[in-house]
Structure 1
Amino acid sequence: MTGRRRSAREDTRLLLLAASVLIAFAANAAGLLAGITSVLPHLLYLPIVLAAYWFPRRGIVFSIALALGYLALILPFAGSDLGLVVPTLARAVVFAAIGTVVSLLSLRLREQEERYRGVFDNSEAGTFIVAMGEAGPRIEEANYVGATLLGSTEKDLIGKPVAAFLDDPGAWEAFRTEIDRNGAVYEYETVLRRADGAAVRVLASGGRLTGGGIVLTLVDITARTNAEDALRRTNAKLNMLGRLTRNDLMAAVSTLLERIAAGMRQFDDPAVRRHLEDLSLDARLVERRAEITRDYQDLGLRPPGWQPLQAVVREAASCLLLPGISVRPWVERVEVFADPMLDRVFANLIENAARHGKTVSKVVITYRIRDDGLSICVEDDGQGVPETEKERIFAYGIGTESGLGLFLVREILSITGMTIQETGTPGKGARFVIHVPPDGYRII
């Protein structure tokens, strides 16, 4: 259908071009017979410009042919009259030059238009040109993806009001206000209502065009949001299952400790009592591990976000009992993109220093911008970590409470691509370095 329309349009243009050529040459021939040679040649500009604009790849040849035809028409009448020959030659050169210039400009314009059409028609996003008129914003043009997104066809969408496809009537006004304020809008989330009534969640982006129109692109995120909702529900169910399992485990451990205590009261044999004491220590270790997992049960449940580091550190330190230890954060103006449980990271590192540093009197948190991202340093002046333990302290099951805590610290940081390692000098203090990727921090 599109090919037939294009062929019919070209046939019409060829007829108009042929008619303009015949009229121009007929008028010039009649003018020569009447002795008029200075005005009527300007009629030839019309077919030259039309041919160069409509058929730019053949416009240069056409203009040269038209100039030669003009010479063939005029020179026989001019004879040896230089007053007529020279202007005729000059006009012929001008005809060819104008045809060449217009053809080149039109060819460049055609290439840009084809490039625009290629982007517009083949974009994976629904793309619309919205005209702003007295009757409100209406769709002036739409690509195939956009028409499919709205459950219609490109032809049927032309002239339709944009607001008719919005689930929230006020969404367009908010969108346009943002464009008027900033010139463009990116990733504006809203809900569309298809022609069949189905709801489609999209990310809308748009910008102002010359002439007052708006180019609008829509990306369907319905499947993504549905998957995110399903994942969120699944995480909530897993979280609930973990909570129930932990409660059952804590109840079983509590019962076990009661039975061990009863055994300690019942038996006097030293060997039996030592065995029961060992069982009690193991049971209490399981109990402490279960308590720690309760603190981290929401890990990854909520989406990451930008967090002011100074406030996070101060909030973490305020919840700890640190007699004789000062916490000095020097991380103003730094924000990091991290899991909402980032405060547990610093609480654990500070508590780890207070519990195992023995001679710790201060914990200092600083940062340094590097070529590969940001380094956040948590340093203390305690005894430090032995070289053989620097990596093992992050492994699951190493040590008691601190081992599991540092394991979870690494897990929390890894959610947004951060890493942690211990680089301190044994005997001079521990130094934990958190590496933040380049897109994971900002200075405000």
Structure 2
Amino acid sequence: MIASEQNLFALAVEMSLDGIVIGDKTGNITYVNDAIVKMMEAQSKDEIVGKHILEFVDPNERQRAIENSQKCETTGEGWKDQFTATTKTGKKIPVELSAAPIKNEKGQTIAFIDIVRAVGDRIETETRLREAHQNLALANEKLLVVGGIVRHDIANKLNVLNMKAYLAKKDGDLEALLNSTQTACSQIRRVIEFSRDYEMLGKEAMTYVNVGKVFDEVVELFPDIKLEVKNECHGLAVLADSLLRELFYNLFENTLKYGKTATQIRLSYILEDEQLKLIYEDNGVGIAAEMKPKLFTKGAGQGSGLGLYLIKKTAEVYGWSVEEGGTEGKNAKFTFTIPKTTYKQ
């Protein structure tokens, strides 16, 4: 390469908007351009040159970087990956790193060159697009589910009531007609309440909500219950909205309706693997094994089949997961797994 070409190459490297790092084969940095100095929030190149490149990689990700480098040395091929870099001020930034070996005339690796690109803005844009798609998918699902329920479920209830009215007119059994009317009205009201709650999914801004307090409020809605209620969640706060009350209400109502032998309801939590497990359980008859695979499916189970479906959808909006892990004949146990970033004690 003639001198003018070398100068042009050096100038291009120095003026690159992407960070460029050159180092020896052991990982010690021998050159960086100005973009790296700015990216790493350093005052000068001297703060970076002479350091090992792993010093700027998050400790939790260094092993992956080492494995990539070892593979590169074995195959002689470059690689690309995303890492969290640590700047001189301690700030964590996401970067995309493309690395390649520099070889001599004999094909031996004598150094490496890394092209480092900050991808924080791109990741933020991708996150916003993903959230927008999720919101759109939820909105479409609401239209399909709510529309289907209002048309199908309510129509079914009215058809049954119409048949009862016909039979009552024929047989003169007005008491049966009144009982059927009361039952149908109750069922229709529940369907309408479900559609209202379902339409609210994801609409409210989430704030930290006191779990113990919300559960106490639900218990107060059942003043005549004879069950023992243990609330061990006072002081625990989770990111949620007003539908958390509906979630607990549905669980509580299920115990009262279908727990049969239940004498106790307990709400508790445990910390496990940097996640929080929120646990609702009763000591009733539990849930039949054959019901569990479709337990959270719309229309499954006893009653309207809407309560547990709404619970699952509410949990998903919160970023939680839910599973039922009770034992048939012994207890029902619903465990909500909550990410570390969405709760506080």
Aligned to 1:267: 170
How has the CA–CA distance of structure 1 residues 351 and 332 changed in structure 2, closer, same or farther, with 3 Å as cutoff?
same
How has the CA–CA distance of structure 1 residues 312 and 440 changed in structure 2, closer, same or farther, with 3 Å as cutoff?
farther
- Residue 370, structure 1, aligned to residue 272, structure 2: yes
In 2: Cα distance, 1:359 partner to 1:437 partner: 30
Q: CA deviation at 1:405?
A: 1.0
- Residue 120, structure 1, aligned to residue 28, structure 2: no
In 1: Cα distance, 2:215 partner to 2:293 partner: 24
Q: Map of 1:11-410 to 2, 5 A cutoff? A: 114=32, 117-118=35-36, 120=38, 219=121, 256=159, 259-260=162-163, 262-268=165-171, 287=188, 290-294=191-195, 295-338=197-240, 340-371=242-273, 373-401=275-303, 403-410=305-312
Q: CA deviation at 1:264?
A: 2.9
Aligned to 2:320: 417
- Counterpart contact for 1:410–1:419, Cα < 8 Å: yes
In 2: Cα distance, 1:226 partner to 1:387 partner: 40
In 2: Cα distance, 1:226 partner to 1:370 partner: 31
Match of 2:337 among 433, 436, 442: 436
In 2: Cα distance, 1:441 partner to 1:356 partner: 32
Number of equivalences: 252
Aligned to 1:215: none
CA deviation digits over 1:326-385, x for unaligned, max 9? 422111332334465222222111111122222333311111222262222222233333
Q: Which amino acid aligns with 1:422?
A: G
In 1: Cα distance, 2:198 partner to 2:260 partner: 26
Q: TM-score, normalised by structure 1?
A: 0.42
How has the CA–CA distance of structure 1 residues 357 and 249 changed in structure 2, closer, same or farther, with 3 Å as cutoff?
closer
In 2: Cα distance, 1:246 partner to 1:258 partner: 17
In 1: Cα distance, 2:155 partner to 2:338 partner: 43
- Counterpart contact for 2:212–2:234, Cα < 8 Å: yes
* DSSP 3-state at the match of 1:420: strand
CA deviation digits over 1:65-90, x for unaligned, max 9? xxxxxxxxxxxxxxxxxxxxxxxxxx
* DSSP 3-state at the match of 1:401: coil
- Residue 426, structure 1, aligned to residue 344, structure 2: no
* DSSP 3-state at the match of 2:251: helix
How has the CA–CA distance of structure 1 residues 118 and 412 changed in structure 2, closer, same or farther, with 3 Å as cutoff?
same
CA deviation digits over 1:188-229, x for unaligned, max 9? xxxxxxxxxxxxxxxxxxxxxxxxxxxxxx959789879978
How has the CA–CA distance of structure 1 residues 431 and 440 changed in structure 2, closer, same or farther, with 3 Å as cutoff?
farther
CA deviation digits over 1:33-86, x for unaligned, max 9? xxxxxxxxxxxxxxxxxxxxxxxxxxxxxxxxxxxxxxxxxxxxxxxxxxxxxx
- Counterpart contact for 2:280–2:334, Cα < 8 Å: yes
- Counterpart contact for 2:294–2:300, Cα < 8 Å: yes
Q: TM-score, normalised by structure 2?
A: 0.52
Whose relative contact order is higher, 1 or 2, with alpha carbons under 8 Å and at least 6 apart?
2
Q: Which amino acid aligns with 1:114?
A: V
Where in structure 1 are there 5+ consecutive unaligned residues?
A: 8-107, 130-182, 187-217
How has the CA–CA distance of structure 1 residues 300 and 119 changed in structure 2, closer, same or farther, with 3 Å as cutoff?
farther
- Counterpart contact for 1:336–1:440, Cα < 8 Å: no
- Counterpart contact for 2:265–2:282, Cα < 8 Å: yes
Q: Which amino acid aligns with 2:208?
A: W
* DSSP 3-state at the match of 2:32: helix
In 2: Cα distance, 1:391 partner to 1:256 partner: 30
- Counterpart contact for 2:201–2:314, Cα < 8 Å: yes
Identity %: 20
How has the CA–CA distance of structure 1 residues 386 and 301 changed in structure 2, closer, same or farther, with 3 Å as cutoff?
same
Structure with the greater alpha carbon radius of gyration? 1
Q: Which amino acid aligns with 1:319?
A: L
